[in-house]
Amino acid sequence: MRGRLAFAAFVMARSMIAAGLPIPPVEWQPWAPRAEIAPRTYIDTIQCRRPAGALVISGASNSAAFGGWEHKVADVSAGKWYRFTAWYRTEGVPFKSRQVVARLDWSAQDGKRIGWPDLAWRVSGEGPWKRMSLDAPAPKGASSVKVQLHLLNAPQGSVWWDDISFDSIDAPPSRPVSVAAVNLRPSGSKSAEENLRRFSELVRRDVPAGTDVILLPEGITVVSNGRTYVEVAEPVPGPATERLGELARSKKAWIVAGVYERDGQAVYNTAVLIDRTGRVTGKYRKVYLPREETEAGLTPGEGHPVFETDFGRVGMMICWDLQFPGPAQAMALQGAEVLLMPIWGGSEILGRARAIENRVFLVSSGYDYPAQIVDPSGEILATTTAQGTVALSTIDLNRRYEERWLGEVRGRFMKEVRRP
């Protein structure tokens, strides 16, 4: 009788999974790489989202504890896309982004690993329960996958997993974004207004219709016109952003440009984000000021915000910020897909490094630095150093960038980086 009931539960569980319903607890098995570091696992029918109960992993006062729960799906198709989702809550876990782990570990027909595990890192939800999700294709040669839920080195921590599902989905469409980076150092100019006019003329003439985002350099209101930072500083929004807004409306494009902003007694080196309607929708005040700018009386900003646009999430950094890993990493960890960098001059090697290490697109526009578009693998998609020219490229924000020995690296970065 007990065997028939167990078999019936198994059949019911498989039919629920096939219907896209949450995977029930009966389908999961405890897992750890070594018995001596196995965490405590159990099913909690009190603190849960569904009556069947939540899968719990506890560090059990063992700082070496690593492991949790595992469920095998035996009928995946190579090349097909799948979606994993799960809800979780934690207690006593200090570094949730690194210590709470869900991943898909793909296997061939013979049971050997195929490719590299895909790590879930997208988290949403308010309150104690958070939703973690991952969309990924089964690699070539895959016939099954182990859905794994882990707690990593959290001796006083526990994580509850519930509402766990794994479903086939359509492959996501491409998400193309047309990018333009301007290379221009106006010569013989006498004012901020004249600089703005020359940048506008170049953009109107050489940036094609349909471009999504246009990047201009750092300090466009001060370069080559003999004025000082303080002399050209103005409020944001203000006259400069009004001119840039007119340009954005005419091109139906987003614009990012470096200006000098006055706010009370402070003057900031600021990058502004202007939407397709000409409205200032964001700004970033340069955090890392070089000695020359502090001696000129500029004030550093605070924080590295990320902004939503109609094509994706963007962050901005300015010139000397490139010298330090913190700004790019902070924005990548907030989900930035593209970093837009007005710059005067700097290290191109560091520019490519910031794209590679954070798995983001990096777009630059400078004077002693190329107008350039770099992809998350560090490949230069477009570049120009000629005066009065524009670097153009269409990037795909839904493209997966994989490396032979590492797999899909953005997921690994998001889950494995040790945040300050």
In this structure, what is the dihedral angle of CA atoms 10, 11, 12, 13, given to the nearest 10 degrees?
A: 50
- CB count in 10 Å sphere of residue 262: 17
**Encoding tokens for residue 142?**
């895959």
| pLDDT at residue number 279 | 98
| pLDDT at residue number 5 | 29
Compute the average pLDDT of residues 91-113. Answer: 96
**Encoding tokens for residue 399?**
């493209």
Residue with tokens 């902004």: 307
CB 232 within 8 A of CB 192: yes
- CB count in 10 Å sphere of residue 74: 9
Given a cut of 50, is residue 8 above it in pLDDT? no
- Domains of the chain with bracketed CATH: 2-171 (2.60.120.260), 176-397 (3.60.110.10)
Residue with tokens 């960890």: 333
pTM: 0.91
First to last CA, the chain: 56
| pLDDT at residue number 223 | 96
pLDDT in tens, 222-261: 999 999 999 999 999 999 999 999 999 999 999 999 999 9
Compute the average pLDDT of residues 349-361. Answer: 97
When pLDDT is cut at 50, 70 and 90, the band that residue 396 belongs to is: very high
CB 93 within 8 A of CB 151: yes
**Residue 237: is the preceding peptide bond cis (ω within 30°)?**
yes
The Cα 158–Cα 92 span in angstroms is: 6
Percentage of residues in the chain having pLDDT higher than 70: 95
Compute the average pLDDT of residues 24-49. Answer: 94
Compute the average pLDDT of residues 184-190. Answer: 93
CB 235 within 8 A of CB 202: no
Q: Helix %, strand %, coil % for the chain, to 5? A: 25, 35, 40
| pLDDT at residue number 26 | 82
- CB count in 10 Å sphere of residue 417: 14
- CB count in 10 Å sphere of residue 212: 21
Q: Could you give phi then psi for residue 400, rounded to 5 degrees? A: -85, 130
When pLDDT is cut at 50, 70 and 90, the band that residue 419 belongs to is: confident
- Secondary structure of residue 344 in the 3-state scheme: coil
Amino acid identity, position 365: S
Amino acid identity, position 401: Y
| pLDDT at residue number 17 | 43
- Secondary structure of residue 91 in the 3-state scheme: strand
| pLDDT at residue number 4 | 35
| pLDDT at residue number 203 | 98
DSSP track, 11-34: HHHHHHHHTTPPPPGGG-EEE-SS
The Cα 313–Cα 397 span in angstroms is: 10
Given a cut of 50, is residue 179 above it in pLDDT? yes
The Cα 213–Cα 210 span in angstroms is: 9
Asked which of 25-29, 103-107, 276-280, 333-337 is least confident by mean pLDDT, the reply is 25-29
How does the average pLDDT of the chain come out, rounded?
93
Alpha helix segments (H runs only) across 299-347? 325-333
Q: 85 CB contacts (<8 Å, ≥6 apart)?
A: 131, 132, 133, 134, 163, 164, 165
